Structure 1
């Protein structure tokens, strides 16, 4: 079977690799000229997600954390000690490794090539129309093909996200995450070290025009001065799945194109890698069926997190958090009973309520 893949980001590359393992002939069309660019991802994942990425993540991790400090400026902070590591991955490094593996298995790349859908089974690119037995759409957050196929049905909420890497001496410990209605309206900000001399500062916001000024405030609040900007990157962050099912027989949407982001944090790496079942399909058609099943299963799990995200991102809930953080300022929570799951916010809250006495025992003020 011949499979055309539109989009050479993480979702497109991971899909292509799995299809090649199953014996498919795969062509990948990517409008940019190299893997991993333009950058847009913060790159924080759970240790479990890193394990699912396997060898492609082993050489691409540059920082490990077991502490998250949640803070509300002017109110207080609560430190969560995680039961497993949180890892910062270099996504460019991962995508370069995937592209190299794909080439080694006979996959073909068409870089710097804008591809559009000619029909359910054809791709138009570079003035040529090519027919495929199946097409995988991994076009990313813009969802141009998605909106064409489903007649504009892109209802997912989006916020603007930005990351800036600075060279700056720092004594930051762990990942610092803050909530504030003017610094990061509708989302949150983050600051963490990737070395003794480099930090990443970022935020999601419903007000993109104020993002750079807000980042300056975050730096000052954490005592970072004389920071030298190394690079900045970002883009739109989706907040949840759009569809429950793959509705087109010859088309499969994956990753951001299917709306697979964690609604609370906007993270896309976990939904992508967890949508693959890691079975050994007997044929190309079986591999396609597994991808379709996997995306639907993950979308179902992510939908359970949408109500949580709506509450945490609302301006009214901020004032509730403000009071909680003021009363618990300086509290330390040790997840010794492994109640908190970094990738499954719905499961974390369910466990906390089911085992509330255990959770309360873990809070030290």
Structure 2
């Protein structure tokens, strides 16, 4: 069966690989001259996600982390020990590796080729100026084409602009082995900012915001708060749209599916998209043929969307600027009682369980319970956040 895939990012490449492994005749179209560019994300993935991708990409891993520190707007922090390692990866390296695998499987790859969907089994090729027919079509384009989605895809309601800076710091900088996340809506309204240490003195700083015009000034302020008078060299800046809400409804035509950014399959709390893509494409290709694989992927996509929808409810608590006081107080209170927290519920991908992590830590659960009993005002703030954002 002839299958066309529009988009040569991670979602398009990984989908092409799975389709080809199942015996499909795959044609992949990418509008840029090479895969992996332009860069747009920080590139943090879990061990679980890499396993689901099932690709030999060890050389694309930059650094391993097992802890994340959460900061409030006052600079207080709590450190969480993850239940499995996460990795900083080179996205360009990753996509080039996937391209090589796809080509090795016989995927027909067309770079610098822009196409547009005509109907459910055809699209127009701007290079050949011809309409091409397919048995099935996969929409795996990026956020740049999201302004006018096909009518069967419902437009998402909320997007954040995120910018990363790769920087080098001169001077005596302490080496760090954990990722820092800053919940400070005064600096990054509607999202958060982050710091990822790579080699000594080299960091990725990032910031997401509902107000794109203020991002450059906010990033400069963020750099200054972290590194003061140290001399900073900006190696490169990159970024793009971060999806923080899922499509309200999805109804695919029989011969078309969308995956990745084309559908908005990102984790709503962090905006990371590789987990959802990898999970939707995680199945045994030896047990399925080309005639059935399309429906299998479609079914998996709906299962992933249901999981991510649960995460969306959690993310609203953290992304809502009106909850800043609650976030500040919670992090401040926990930081005074614990230096590091370890819990089975602290999963980098399954954020729907994140709010339950005190239950898996009896001492923390008792401490938080006592605060809720004794502090009436805190109880009101928490109740308001939960009932307005979780139980809608």
Equivalent residues of 1:185, 1:205 under 8 A apart: yes
How far, CA to CA, are the matches of 1:284 and 1:145 in structure 2? 32
How far, CA to CA, are the matches of 2:22 and 2:141 in structure 1? 22
- State the 4+ residue runs in structure 1 displaced beyond 6 angstroms: none
Equivalent residues of 2:53, 2:282 under 8 A apart: no
Per the alignment, do residues 356 and 193 of structure 1 end up closer, same or farther by CA in structure 2, a change over 3 Å counting?
closer
The answer to which of 174-183 and 31-40 deviates more is 174-183
User: Runs of 5+ in structure 2 lacking a partner?
Assistant: 369-392
Q: Does 1:215 align with 2:219?
A: yes
1:143 positional shift: 4.5
How far, CA to CA, are the matches of 2:143 and 2:237 in structure 1? 19
User: Runs of 5+ in structure 1 lacking a partner?
Assistant: none
Superposed CA RMSD in Å reads 2.1
Equivalent residues of 1:163, 1:234 under 8 A apart: yes
Aligned residues: 360
1:61 positional shift: 0.5
More helix by share: 2
User: Which residue of 2 is the match for residue 171 of structure 1?
Assistant: 174
Task: Give the one of 204, 207, 220 matched to 1:203.
Answer: 207
| CA deviation map 1:216-258 (0-9, x unaligned) | 2222222262111111110010113215544210101111111
Superposition pairs of residues 214-253 of structure 1, within 5 angstroms = 214-223=218-227, 225-242=230-247, 245-253=250-258
Q: Does 1:150 align with 2:152?
A: yes
Secondary structure (helix, strand or coil) at the match of 1:332 reads coil
Give the structure-2-normalised TM-score: 0.86
Superposition pairs of residues 14-25 of structure 1, within 5 angstroms = 14-25=14-25
How far, CA to CA, are the matches of 2:306 and 2:33 in structure 1? 34
Task: Give the one of 177, 185, 191 matched to 1:187.
Answer: 191
How far, CA to CA, are the matches of 1:23 and 1:146 in structure 2? 32
User: Which residue of 2 is the match for residue 339 of structure 1?
Assistant: 345
1:259 positional shift: 1.3
1:115 positional shift: 0.7
Secondary structure (helix, strand or coil) at the match of 1:147 reads coil
How far, CA to CA, are the matches of 1:361 and 1:59 in structure 2? 44
User: Which residue of 2 is the match for residue 98 of structure 1?
Assistant: 98
How far, CA to CA, are the matches of 1:68 and 1:145 in structure 2? 34
Equivalent residues of 2:162, 2:208 under 8 A apart: yes
Give the structure-1-normalised TM-score: 0.93
| CA deviation map 1:281-321 (0-9, x unaligned) | 43112211121111111001000011111111111211111
How far, CA to CA, are the matches of 2:194 and 2:273 in structure 1? 17
Superposition pairs of residues 41-56 of structure 1, within 5 angstroms = 41-56=41-56
1:75 positional shift: 4.9
Equivalent residues of 1:75, 1:322 under 8 A apart: no
How far, CA to CA, are the matches of 2:2 and 2:11 in structure 1? 18
1:358 positional shift: 5.2
Per the alignment, do residues 163 and 145 of structure 1 end up closer, same or farther by CA in structure 2, a change over 3 Å counting?
closer
Per the alignment, do residues 298 and 188 of structure 1 end up closer, same or farther by CA in structure 2, a change over 3 Å counting?
same
1:147 positional shift: 1.9
